[in-house]
Structure 1
Amino acid sequence: MYLIVGLGNPTAKYEKTRHNAGFDVIDAIADKYGIELNLRKGKAFCGTGYIEGQKVMLAKPQTYMNLSGDSVSALVNFYKLDPMEDLIVVFDDISLAPGNLRIRKKGSAGGHNGIKDIIAKTGTDQFARVKVGVGEKPAGWDLADHVLGRFSLEDREKFDDAVKEAVDAVTLMVQDRTDEAMNRYNRKK
C-alpha cells in the first residue's frame, strides 16, 4: 500500500492558502479516484482506495504543518510501511514558481518545516516527494505571511493546473514510474 500524504494546516482559516498545496492535491486525487477521506487515523483525515489498481491511503495530517512528522510517522509505523518504497509526500515549495512541479525520490528538507519534521520523526529522508510551486515571497514580506496567504487570480490558475499535473504525477509514481513522472513534470514553465 502507498501512503500519499498532502501537507497543510487544518481548519477553514487555512483553506486555499499556499501552505495547503498538499491538501489541495490530496483533495483532487480523492475526487478523481472516488476516495472518501472518512477515516481518522494517525492524527490525520484518511481514506483508502485504488489508483490504477494500486491500493493507496490518502492522508491530510491535522497536526499543523510544523508537526507533520507526528502524523506521518504514526501512519508509517501503524501500517508497517517502508518510507523509501511506500511513502509519497506532496507539499508547497516557495523556490518554484506557481504552476511548476518538482518530483524527487529523496532529499533534504530544503528549509520546509513540515518535511524537516517528517525526516526527524521517521528517521529518514529517503521518501518520494512532489513539490508544488507557490512562488517566492516578495521582498520585505514575512515568510509566514506569504505561505499563509492566498494566490492572486493569475497565480491561482497556474497553481490549479499544477494540481492537475501533480495528480497525474502521483498516478505514475504509484505505478512504479517515478522516473517517467520526473522526466515529464520536472521542467520549468
Structure 2
Amino acid sequence: MADPWLVVGLGNPGAQYSGNRHNVGQMVLASLAHRIDARFKTHKTNSVVAEGRSYPAGPRLILAKPNSFMNLSGGPVAQLLAFYDLEPDRLIVVHDELDIPFDTIRIKNRGGAGGHNGIRDIIAATDTGDFTRVRVGVGRPPGRKAAADFVLQDFAGAEREVLPNLLDEAADAIQMIAAEGVEAAQLKFHTAGE
C-alpha cells in the first residue's frame, strides 16, 4: 500500500486568530476533515492530527494543524514527518498567499519560501523545499495597509460569503494531488475559470 500523505494547514493557535486570513490553511483542513469524517486529536508533535481516507479506497491522509505560531511551523512539521516516517515528497502544506487574488488557489511543487515565513521555517527545519504547497489566495492589502496587519484580520463580509466555496476547492485540490498527482491537480485547478 502506498505511503500516506501528510497535509499540514498553517495558521496561528487560539480562538482570536481562527477567522484570520493567515489561518486559511487550517480552515481548509477543518473542511477536509469534515468531508472525510476525521476528528482532530492532540498529538505529541505539538500539533492536532486527524486521519482518514480521501475516498473509501483512496489514499490515507494525515491532517495536521501545528499548535505553534505560523512563523514557527517548521519544528512540528519536521516532527510529524519523522513520527510517520515520511519523506518531504509526501508533504502538502496549505497556506495563505498574498500574491494570489482572493478566491483563487494555486499548487506549487517544490521551490523556495516566496516570502512566506511559515514556509521559510519549514524549509529550514526539514532542510528541503521539496514538498507541495496548496496556496490559497487572500489578495493584497488595500491602500497602504501593512501585509502583516492584513493577514491578521478576519475575512471581510463579502469574502466570508465566498469562503466556504474556496475552502472546498482547496480541499478538492488536496484530494486530487493525493489520488492523481501534482501535475493533474495543477492542470485542473490552474485552468479553472480561465
Shorter chain as denominator, the TM-score bin is over 0.9
Equivalent residue number for residue 21 of structure 2: 18
Equivalent residue number for residue 80 of structure 2: 75
* Structure 1 position 51, deviation (Å): 0.8
Query: For the Cα contact (< 8 Å) 1:134–1:159, is it kept in 2?
Result: no
* Structure 1 position 31, deviation (Å): 0.4
Q: Which among 168, 172, 187 is matched to residue 183 of structure 1?
A: 187
Structure 1: gaps spanning 5 or more residues: none
Q: Establish whether residue 154 from structure 1 lines up as the match of residue 141 from structure 2.
A: no
The 10-residue stretch of structure 1 (110-119 or 132-141) with the greater mean CA deviation from structure 2: 132-141
Distance 2:147 2:119 in 1: 16
User: Alpha-carbon deviations, 1:156-188, whole Å to 9, x = none?
Assistant: 233332211111111111113321211111247
Distance 1:13 1:139 in 2: 25
Q: Establish whether residue 65 from structure 1 lines up as the match of residue 70 from structure 2.
A: yes
User: Alpha-carbon deviations, 1:72-111, whole Å to 9, x = none?
Assistant: 0111112221101x10000000111110000011121110
TM-score (norm 1): 0.95
Query: For the Cα contact (< 8 Å) 1:39–1:47, is it kept in 2?
Result: no
Aligned alpha-carbon RMSD (Å): 1.3
Equivalent residue number for residue 48 of structure 1: 51
How high is the sequence identity, in percent, across the aligned residues? 39
Query: For the Cα contact (< 8 Å) 1:98–1:158, is it kept in 2?
Result: no
Equivalent residue number for residue 174 of structure 2: 170
TM-score (norm 2): 0.92
The 10-residue stretch of structure 1 (155-164 or 99-108) with the greater mean CA deviation from structure 2: 155-164
Q: Which among 118, 143, 146 is matched to residue 147 of structure 2?
A: 143
Query: For the Cα contact (< 8 Å) 1:28–1:164, is it kept in 2?
Result: yes
Structure 2: gaps spanning 5 or more residues: none
Distance 1:56 1:188 in 2: 25
Distance 2:80 2:37 in 1: 21
* Structure 1 position 3, deviation (Å): 0.4
What amino acid is the match of 1:62? N
